[in-house]
């Protein structure tokens, strides 16, 4: 049974600033991709991984890195909108939170670099439960040739 910890009472409402999709004055943005992310984008958008990702052989499951163009994610359009929103990677679905895993313990932590934190409604536990389910799925998927 996986154990979940998350910031209780945190408020969040995306301000659509696209700061999480680009490099900032604080440094480069590294958009890591799991094998599942990679396969989902390839399958649903008809793209080859070479077009959008680099294999950095990172720690499982985040073995790929999204390509950037002029400091922006390759999928960010001229209107600062994500071109692959429905199929965006787990790391983008989670942001402004990220997950730290120790064995079967998963802890969500909040980024202080997102202007949406502290705005909007308090996030309910089910938001994190849903993200955790997707994260576990990513950890379980290892086959680069299988998207079943």
Write out the residues near ligand SF4 by the rule CB under 6 A.
14-21, 31, 73, 75-76, 82, 84, 88-89, 92, 95-96, 114-116
CA neighbours within 13 Å on the CB side: how many for 4?
16
Q: Which residue has the tokens 């990679």?
A: 38
Q: Are strands 72-73 and 68-69 parallel, antiparallel or unpaired?
A: antiparallel
Asked if the peptide bond before residue 61 counts as cis, ω within 30 degrees of 0, the response is yes
CB of residue 3 to ligand SF4, shortest distance in Å:
26
Residue 114 or 123: the one with the smaller Cβ distance to ligand SF4 is: 114
Provide, rounded to whole angstroms, the least separation between the CB of residue 59 and ligand SF4: 19
Q: State in angstroms the smallest separation of the CB of 82 from ligand SF4.
A: 3
Residues 6+ apart with CB under 8 A from 101: 107, 135, 139
Decide: 115 and 24 in contact? Cβ < 8 Å: no
Q: Nearest approach, Cβ of 14 to ligand SF4 (angstroms)?
A: 3
Per DSSP, the three-state class of 37 is helix
Report the residue number, 28 or 115, with the smaller CB distance to ligand SF4. Answer: 115
């Amino acid at each position: 049974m996986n154990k979940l910890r998350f910031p209780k009472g945190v408020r969040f409402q995306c301000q659509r600033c696209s700061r999480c999709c680009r490099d900032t004055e604080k440094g480069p943005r590294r958009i890591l991709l799991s094998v599942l992310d990679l396969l989902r984008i390839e399958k649903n958008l008809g793209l080859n991984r070479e077009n959008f990702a680099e294999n950095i052989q990172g720690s499982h499951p985040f073995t790929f890195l999204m390509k950037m163009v002029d400091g922006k994610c390759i999928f960010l359009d001229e209107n600062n909108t994500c071109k692959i929103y429905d199929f965006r990677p787990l790391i983008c679905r989670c942001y402004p939170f990220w997950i730290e895993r120790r064995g079967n313990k998963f802890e969500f932590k909040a980024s202080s670099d997102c202007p949406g934190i502290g705005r909007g409604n308090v996030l309910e536990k089910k938001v994190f439960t849903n993200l955790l389910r997707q994260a576990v799925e990513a950890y379980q998927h290892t086959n680069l040739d299988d998207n079943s």
